Amino acid sequence: MAKHLNPLEKEFLIRKFKGNSKVKLGDFCRANNVSETSFKKWLKQYEEAGIEGLARADAEIGNILPEGIDKTKEGYKREILRLRIENERLKK
């Protein structure tokens, strides 16, 4: 059975992939022992809900954000950023 990665490990891989635009998705996934299907799903979940979107539904985990960080405020920040990016994309 394959090892399940925790949300922080998934986020690390996503940031690593996004930081190197020259690497093909398939090559990156093979090098990191991750299926392309799973990685694409993680990318979508991360873009929609940030690190909390990467948590497995059946996992017994509490709040992923560090103590002292307001979940609602972080959600608003993420949504504002997403809307700014979408706005810039639509201007072109």
Ordered by start, the domain boundaries in the chain are 7-67
What spatial distance separates the first Cα and last Cα of the chain, rounded to whole Å? 46
Q: Indicate yes or no: pTM above 0.85.
A: no
How many of the other CB atoms lie within 10 Å of CB of 90? 7
1-56 pLDDT, tens digit each: 467 888 888 989 999 999 888 899 999 999 999 999 999 999 999 888 888 788 76
Q: Which residue reads 């809307």 in tokens?
A: 83
Give residue 1's pLDDT: 44
Most distant CA pair in the chain: distance in Å? 47
